[in-house]
Each structure stands twice: as C-alpha cells, then as structure tokens.
Structure 1
C-alpha cells in the first residue's frame, strides 16, 4: 500500500489524526469547487438567456417597436420598447457597457458561453480528481481506524 499517496506523501505513513485533517481539507476544497461549478453554470445560463434575447430581438421585428421587459433589479421589471433591434447595449463586466450591433452582441455572448463551457469542463475534472483523492483518504482512514480497534495478538 505504499503506492497510495498524494504529491509524494504516502497516506499509509500518516496518523489517523493527520488523515482526518487531510480529509477535512479535501472536504472543504470539494465543497468550494462544487459551489464554483454551480456559479459557472448559472453564469453560462445567464449568457445563454442574453444570447436568446439578442437573437429574438433581431429575428422577430414587430411593427416598428418591440415590447420588452427591462430589469431594474433581479426581481423588478418595467415594460419598455426596443426602438432599434439592431443596436443593443452589452454589459461587458465590472459595470462597463458597450453599444454593439446585434450580430456582434450575439458573437460576444456565444464566445462567453463557449469560454464558460471550457471552464466548466476543466473544473469538473478538478472536482473529480479531488473527490477521488477524498475517497482514497477516507478508505485509508477507515482501514487505520479498524486496525487500531482490533486487539493485537501476542504470539
């Protein structure tokens, strides 16, 4: 079992208390990474919604002006009219807005969705590796606890 280990440290050489500390740290890391994973998915969904809105504004021009709901807060909207569906204002982050034509805005959001998809895949692999490490630490800890609870045989 000396082959088990992480970053050159054999888990078998650690005491149960040290293994418990490693397990606690891995639990916290997995929890944090999972929360980040959820936040990335939420951001990706918001960009997908923005992309859908930009595309629908361009593809279905109503007679003159298109009626839309404008968000004032996360839960408060007011009715508005889209005067020029080919010109939109895009939130590019940290409170900065840029006016773009609809095609450029759609490309911007497509890039964001794609970039977040790549980040999600990378984070998913990291979460999987941390989870596997956590399972390994739990198994070694369980074996050490079982071994210490069995009476030793003097022969």
Structure 2
C-alpha cells in the first residue's frame, strides 16, 4: 500500500485517520491539478519550439529575399522583406538574441525541444504517481467511511438493556 511522508518520515496510508486521509486526498488532488497545468504549459512551449525549428529549416531552404508581414502590435502589421535569410536572430531568453544561420538555429531548437521532452516525461511520471496515490487514498477513505457507517448502524441496532 502507498505511504505518505513529510519531515518526520513516511507513514502507511492504512494507519491514517479519516480526517488525515481526507487531507491527503485534497492535497494530492491540488498537486495533480498543478501538475496538469504545468504539463499544459510545457506542451505549449514545446509546440512553439517546434514551430521555430520548422521556420528555421524553411529559412535555410530559401536563398532569395522573402516578403513578410512585420507585427507592430498584435493587430497591426507592415509589409517587409527578409533580405538575408541565411542570418536569423534567435531569442535565447531574458531579452538576449544571438545571430545564427538557419541550420544552427534549427539545431538549437531541437536541443531545447529534447530538454522540454525530458521535463514533460518527468512531469508525466510524477502525475501518474500522484494519480495512483489519489486513487489509493480515495479507495481507502471510502472503505473506512463505510466501515464507520456499518459500525454506527450496528451500534444503533443493538437493544439497550
């Protein structure tokens, strides 16, 4: 059976009271929700990296100036031309940009995608563990509640006398 732990060590869930099981269940449910949110964010980031890699690959296949629409805001664009498609400015985070050729840019995005995939795999592993704990605690809590109700019903059915 599963065990829950804290600073003082782990305790088998079968030894927890109904109140403690309820608390563990709520905490685990919140952790599952947070993990699912994080996984969603990682998936969005992975999709953006994929689009960036595909764009870098496309730019590497082009040697002529390319017309583009340059965004000024999310709603306003102006026409422009990419004069040198063999030089890309790659956002490497925190406001830093590095000039790369399309092949190096695509390689950079592939490495970032691999790192993102590792993070996703780890998050899915933790999510599966949390789901198993949630199911085990929920099942045990249900059993303990049913046993308590049966004990109450039996105590109420006995004649006093």
Per-residue CA deviations over 1:103-128 (Å, capped at 9, x if unaligned) read 11111101011111111111111100
The separation in 1 between residues aligned to 2:121 and 2:77, in whole angstroms, is: 34
The structure with more radius of gyration: 2
Q: 1:47 aligns with which of 46, 49, 72?
A: 49
Question: SS at the partner of 1:24?
Answer: helix
| 2:138 is the alignment partner of 1:138 | yes
State the Cα distance separating 1:77 from its structure 2 match. Answer: 4.4
Question: SS at the partner of 1:152?
Answer: helix
Aligned length: 150
| Residues 56 and 106 in structure 2, CA contact (< 8 A), matched pair in contact too | yes
Length-normalised TM-score, structure 1 = 0.88
Question: What's the counterpart of residue 125 of structure 1?
Answer: 125
Q: 1:101 to 1:19 in 2, by over 3 A?
A: same
Question: What's the counterpart of residue 85 of structure 2?
Answer: 85
| Residues 57 and 66 in structure 1, CA contact (< 8 A), matched pair in contact too | no
After the TM superposition, list the runs of 4 or more consecutive aligned residues in structure 1 that deviate by more than 6 angstroms. Answer: none
Question: SS at the partner of 2:97?
Answer: strand
State the Cα distance separating 1:72 from its structure 2 match. Answer: 4.3
Stretch moving more, 97-106 or 145-154: 145-154
Stretch moving more, 106-115 or 70-79: 70-79
State the Cα distance separating 1:13 from its structure 2 match. Answer: 1.5
Question: What's the counterpart of residue 3 of structure 2?
Answer: 5
State the Cα distance separating 1:70 from its structure 2 match. Answer: 3.3
Q: Which runs of 5+ in 1 are unaligned?
A: none
The within-5 A match list for 1:6-155 is 6-7=4-5, 8-61=10-63, 64-73=64-73, 77-150=77-150, 151-152=153-154
Q: 1:74 to 1:48 in 2, by over 3 A?
A: farther
Q: Which runs of 5+ in 2 are unaligned?
A: none
State the Cα distance separating 1:5 from its structure 2 match. Answer: 2.5
Stretch moving more, 113-122 or 67-76: 67-76
Length-normalised TM-score, structure 2 = 0.85
The separation in 2 between residues aligned to 1:9 and 1:54, in whole angstroms, is: 52
